[in-house]
Amino acid sequence: MKIAIIGTGTVGSALARGLKQSPHKIILGARDAADRATQSLAADVGGELASPREAAGSAELVILALPWDVAETAVKALGDLTGKIVIDCMNPVGMVGGALGLLLGHTTSGGETVAAWLPGARVVKTLNQVGAEMMADNAGLPHRPVMFMAGDDPEAKSIVAAVLSNLGFEPLDAGDLTKARLLEPFGMVWINQALLRGKGRSWAFAAVERT
């Protein structure tokens, strides 16, 4: 399957490296294909480079790995993605009352907002609940890290679950896309522990069952 990663920053780069050994073909959607770091990333993961619009248009699955403050303009510029599976791994964060917090919640979510920007796309909210380091490489953890996903299309979620497994996660279905309202605050729990409570970034959530 051809996967387009839109955005080559910290998260986009980590996902590209995490999928390097997968059977998927990676195409990086970058604003500046001449950037040396972006070219180095493409060479490292054996991926193609294209404009964001070209990358999204040529792929079967599109991963949005963009800062929220530029997301609307960038996502709408991708064109018509009707029928394509789109993973939204962005958390709608910004400064709220002088502290980092969610800009959306309770009655809507970033995932639902992305779906409104891309009518006809099969949006799945996931990969927002852990830091980039664990996306690139989570081998060696004592438990397989869990990754929840939410979306309205069962087939799309089945395909996304396989991609999550390629990245080393245990995929768990949280329900329809409105459940992004749960997953985005859950992502903030990781951010709070990692950045504000001193836990650092080398950890992930796991679902541990009694046997």
Q: Which domain holds residue 141?
A: 2-196
User: Would 202 be classed as within a structural domain?
Assistant: no
Tell me the C-alpha distance between 169 and 127, whole Å.
10
Which CATH number does the domain housing residue 128 bear? 3.40.50.720
**pLDDT per residue over 25-60, tens digit each?**
999 999 888 889 999 999 999 999 999 999 999 999
In a domain, 100, yes or no: yes
- pLDDT beyond 90 at 96: no
Residue 178 within a domain: yes
Predicted pLDDT of residue 32: 87
Task: Flag whether 201 is in a domain.
Answer: no
| Dmax (CA) of the chain | 53
CB atoms within 10 A of CB 134: 24
Give the residue among 196, 199, 86, 62 at the shortest CA–CA distance from 152: 86
Closest CA to 175 of 160, 157, 190: 157
pTM of structure:
0.94
Question: Within a domain: residue 204?
Answer: no
Mean pLDDT calculated for residue range 132-153 = 96
The 8-class DSSP code of residue 178 comes to G
Residue 206 resides in a domain: no
Intra-chain end-to-end CA distance of the chain, in Å: 36
Number of domains forming the structure of the chain? 1
Average pLDDT, the chain: 95
